């Protein structure tokens, strides 16, 4: 799995200019991504040899390519008179394979790859950008046998989140190939949250959240606000006293016949000292083959790493519920859970995802492939996952309530394996964590190369963790960006499931516990890291022992690198 800060602290926006997947500054591994657009330059490595192509053998037009053993005659020339004019003969069939870009930007040059482009007569091809039923013509700047170059003029207005098609036609008919079927979105370059209007499936319909700082709103003022809003058709669904964070959260149903966007603007103007936003839906960010411990040099045998085995810092988990009866947790007594699911009765409910994360920390069945990273650490699990109907989701209101509960439990580190859009209410709650001696870690996201940095990982108080496989390659669905701080194993891990089962799953969610475990190890060895140094101190300590992957130094794909336990 796998949502937030004031605008001045918003780390996701600081790096959004490099997030577009087509930029060549992002390294995706040893070889370049064929789907990225960039300048047509190349640098030969030392010792490289340029092979000179041999001249082609003469071809007998009457026999096609029959002078080459094992080849069939060319049907376009076989049986024809070489002196006969070519007028009236069909050119070889053109095929549009792909557009060498993953997203679209105004003013960008685009390359279409395929075959048979140079054989067509001048003016035969036409190129357009389709938006719904509307098509806008594009210029053909150049073409060769296998490539056509075009440009999106800067005057084009592209909307983020909308799907576009690039259509290549010959004689008014679509050229064959997959290229015409592909759909593209606007690149997430210089896109601000205010320009992104969430689709209805990203938030709980008919609800808004009002976060009130207790220092500015006493209970009398809050009660008067509720009375006024109820008289205007609002309904108070829930009032949460977030004492550990210093807020009161009102979960409101808006008047019937009104739209969330209009309500938000009206309430923000009316209550400028409150933080008001949608109630966003956030998503969880999933003898066995075990490679993770070897990849990070973590000893799993008893006593192999005494510091890690005896680390007892309390860890909080914001996720789904846990199957406490799972065989991997037998004998574990220091796991506490509480329920905060949207519309729930306050009772935690076992989930596959929450069980997997908890067993990664507390598993005590090495024979079954479950060897806990922090077997002696108390674990507190805030179940914020709504599983009643449709696709499970974690409401922003549930997240804030769960965070408040964990702070009250005096946890030292919090694992947040979820991802979602920027939300002002969540950002305000996370802002409160910056000056506390609590470390926050979150999944860097499974949205892919085109996605915006997700929250809470993109918040400056949070460390974002991405996933790599056993060969140290980045997880194919991971979201790159400046929010990525570290890498850890997270692809095809053997993980526990509710009901006593297990399965192989992948996701940036499952990489987060490894970075938390290494942080616990460092704090246990150097207690001063727990006080006064904040996120900067632990980040520097973690960075001292990593494998640098991708570009030299920190990069938006792997962050600082793959964490290691070499000194354990």
Q: What is the model's pLDDT at position 123?
A: 76
Say which residues have a Cβ less than 8 Å from residue 275's Cβ, sequence separation at least 6: 210, 211, 424, 425, 427, 428
Give whole-number Cα distances, 133 to 130, 166, 294, 338, in Å.
7, 13, 54, 50
pLDDT at 27 over 90: no
| C-alpha to C-alpha distance for 403 and 401, rounded to whole angstroms | 5
Query: 336 burial class (0-12, 13-18, 19+ CB within 10 angstroms)?
Result: middle
| C-alpha to C-alpha distance for 278 and 202, rounded to whole angstroms | 9
pLDDT at 313 over 60: yes
DSSP class per residue in 268-289:
HHH-TTSEEEEEEEEEE-----
pTM of the model: 0.65
Vertex 474 angle, CA 473 and 475, to 5°:
115
| Residues 541 and 522: beta-carbon distance below 8 Å | yes
| C-alpha to C-alpha distance for 111 and 99, rounded to whole angstroms | 6
pLDDT digit string, tens, across residues 163-182: 889 999 988 889 988 888 88
| C-alpha to C-alpha distance for 306 and 563, rounded to whole angstroms | 19
pLDDT digit string, tens, across residues 341-372: 998 777 899 999 999 999 999 998 888 889 88
Q: What is the model's pLDDT at position 203?
A: 83
Q: Retrieve residue 291's tokens.
A: 């490679």
pLDDT at 223 over 90: yes
Q: What is the model's pLDDT at position 535?
A: 64
Which of 97-111, 167-181, 276-290 is predicted least confidently? 276-290
Q: What is the model's pLDDT at position 197?
A: 55
With tokens 């570009």, the residue in question is 551
* 3-state secondary structure (DSSP) of residue 261: helix
DSSP class per residue in 422-464:
--HHHHHHHHTTTTSS-EEEEE--SS-TTSPPPBTTTSTTEEE
Q: Residue 20's pLDDT band (boundaries 50, 70, 90)?
A: very low
Mean pLDDT of all residues belonging to the chain:
79
Q: What is the model's pLDDT at position 430?
A: 94
User: By C-alpha distance, which of 497, 492, 544, 490 is closest to 512?
Assistant: 490
Which of 133-142, 157-166, 333-342 is predicted least confidently? 157-166
Give whole-number Cα distances, 384 to 202, 343, 416, 421, 541, in Å.
16, 10, 11, 17, 31
| C-alpha to C-alpha distance for 414 and 499, rounded to whole angstroms | 25
pLDDT at 26 over 70: no
Q: What is the model's pLDDT at position 462?
A: 94
pLDDT at 82 over 50: no
Q: What is the model's pLDDT at position 199?
A: 58
Q: Retrieve residue 89's tokens.
A: 């003969």
Q: What is the model's pLDDT at position 113?
A: 87
* 3-state secondary structure (DSSP) of residue 22: coil
Say which residues have a Cβ less than 8 Å from residue 91's Cβ, sequence separation at least 6: 116, 119, 120, 121
User: By C-alpha distance, which of 194, 148, 145, 141 is closest to 167?
Assistant: 148
Say which residues have a Cβ less than 8 Å from residue 178's Cβ, sequence separation at least 6: 96, 97, 98
| C-alpha to C-alpha distance for 359 and 375, rounded to whole angstroms | 9
DSSP code at position 231? H
* 3-state secondary structure (DSSP) of residue 510: helix
With tokens 């979820």, the residue in question is 418
pLDDT digit string, tens, across residues 518-546: 999 998 888 888 775 556 778 889 999 99
Which of 31-35, 105-109, 424-428, 432-436 is predicted least confidently? 31-35
pLDDT at 327 over 60: yes
Q: What is the model's pLDDT at position 287?
A: 47
pLDDT digit string, tens, across residues 115-130: 888 877 777 889 999 8
User: By C-alpha distance, which of 419, 564, 557, 567 is closest to 485?
Assistant: 557
DSSP class per residue in 210-221:
EEEETTT--HHH
Long-range Cβ contact pairs of 459-462 (< 8 A, separation 24 or more): 459/4, 459/5, 459/9, 459/10, 459/11, 459/12, 459/427, 459/430, 460/5, 460/9, 460/10, 460/11, 460/434, 460/535, 461/5, 461/430, 461/431, 461/433, 461/434, 461/535, 462/416, 462/430
| Residues 403 and 340: beta-carbon distance below 8 Å | no
Q: Residue 63's pLDDT band (boundaries 50, 70, 90)?
A: very low
Q: Residue 234's pLDDT band (boundaries 50, 70, 90)?
A: very high
Mean pLDDT of 274-284: 87
Residue % of the chain over a pLDDT of 70: 77
| C-alpha to C-alpha distance for 182 and 177, rounded to whole angstroms | 10
Mean pLDDT of 320-347: 89
pLDDT at 13 over 60: no
| C-alpha to C-alpha distance for 495 and 556, rounded to whole angstroms | 27
Query: 413 burial class (0-12, 13-18, 19+ CB within 10 angstroms)?
Result: buried
Continuous H helices in 97-256: 219-231
| Residues 478 and 469: beta-carbon distance below 8 Å | no
pLDDT at 489 over 70: yes
Task: State the Cα torsion 22-27-30-36 to the nearest 10°.
Answer: 10
Mean pLDDT of 218-243: 94
pLDDT at 48 over 80: no
Phi and psi (nearest 5°) for 474?
-70, 145
pLDDT digit string, tens, across residues 490-499: 999 999 999 9
- Residue that wins the pLDDT comparison between 20 and 341: 341
Residue % of the chain over a pLDDT of 90: 42
Q: What is the model's pLDDT at position 532?
A: 54
Q: What is the model's pLDDT at position 198?
A: 56
pLDDT digit string, tens, across residues 249-272: 999 999 988 888 889 999 999 999
pLDDT digit string, tens, across residues 145-160: 888 999 888 777 888 7
């Amino acid at each position: 799995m796998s949502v937030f800060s004031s605008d001045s602290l918003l780390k996701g926006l600081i790096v959004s200019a490099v997030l577009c997947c087509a930029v060549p500054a992002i390294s995706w591994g040893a070889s370049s991504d064929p789907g990225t657009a960039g300048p047509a330059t190349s640098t030969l490595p030392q010792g490289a040899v340029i092979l000179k192509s041999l001249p082609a053998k003469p071809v007998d037009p009457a026999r096609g390519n029959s002078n080459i053993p094992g080849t069939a005659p060319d049907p376009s020339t076989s049986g024809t008179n070489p002196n006969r004019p070519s007028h009236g003969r069909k050119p070889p069939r053109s095929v549009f394979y792909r557009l060498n870009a993953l997203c679209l930007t105004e003013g960008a040059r685009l390359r279409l790859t395929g075959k048979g482009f140079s054989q067509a007569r001048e003016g035969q091809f036409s190129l357009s950008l389709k938006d719904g039923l509307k098509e806008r013509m594009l210029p053909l700047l150049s073409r060769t046998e296998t490539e056509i170059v075009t440009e999106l003029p800067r005057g084009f207005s592209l909307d983020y989140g909308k799907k576009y098609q690039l259509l290549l036609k010959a004689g008014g008919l679509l050229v064959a190939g997959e290229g015409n079927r592909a759909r593209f979105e606007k690149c997430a370059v210089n896109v601000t949250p205010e320009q992104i209007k969430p689709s209805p499936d990203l938030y709980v319909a008919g609800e808004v959240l009002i976060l009130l700082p207790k220092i500015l709103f006493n209970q009398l003022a809050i009660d008067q606000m509720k009375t006024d809003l109820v008289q205007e058709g609002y309904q108070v669904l829930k009032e949460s006293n977030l004492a550990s964070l210093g807020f009161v959260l009102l979960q409101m149903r808006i008047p019937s016949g009104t739209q969330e966007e209009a309500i938000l603007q009206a309430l923000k103007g009316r209550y400028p000292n409150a933080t008001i936003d949608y109630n966003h839906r956030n998503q969880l960010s999933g003898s066995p083959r075990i490679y993770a411990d070897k990849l990070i040099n973590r000893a799993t045998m008893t006593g192999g790493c005494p510091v890690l085995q005896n680390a007892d810092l309390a860890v909080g988990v914001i996720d789904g519920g846990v199957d406490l009866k799972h065989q991997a947790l037998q004998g574990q007594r220091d796991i506490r859970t509480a329920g905060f699911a949207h519309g729930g009765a306050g009772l935690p409910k076992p989930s596959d995802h929450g069980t997997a994360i908890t067993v990664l920390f507390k598993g005590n069945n090495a024979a079954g492939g479950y060897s806990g990273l922090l077997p002696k650490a108390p674990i507190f699990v805030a179940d914020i996952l709504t599983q009643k109907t449709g696709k499970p989701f974690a409401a922003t209101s549930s997240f804030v309530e769960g965070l408040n509960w964990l702070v009250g439990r005096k946890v030292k580190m919090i694992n947040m394996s979820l991802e979602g859009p920027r939300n002002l209410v969540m950002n305000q709650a996370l802002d409160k964590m910056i000056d506390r001696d609590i470390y926050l870690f979150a999944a860097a996201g499974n949205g892919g190369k085109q996605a915006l940095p997700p929250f809470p990982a993109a918040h400056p108080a949070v460390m974002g963790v991405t996933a790599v496989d056993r060969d140290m390659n980045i997880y194919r669905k991971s979201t790159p960006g400046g929010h990525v701080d570290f890498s850890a194993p997270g692809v095809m891990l053997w993980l526990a499931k509710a009901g006593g089962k297990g399965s192989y799953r992948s996701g940036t969610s499952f990489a987060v516990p490894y970075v938390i475990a290494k942080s616990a190890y460092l704090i246990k060895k150097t207690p001063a890291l727990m006080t006064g140094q904040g996120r900067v101190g632990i980040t520097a300590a973690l960075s001292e022992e990593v494998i640098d992957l991708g570009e030299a130094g920190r990069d938006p794909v792997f962050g600082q690198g793959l964490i290691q336990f070499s000194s354990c």
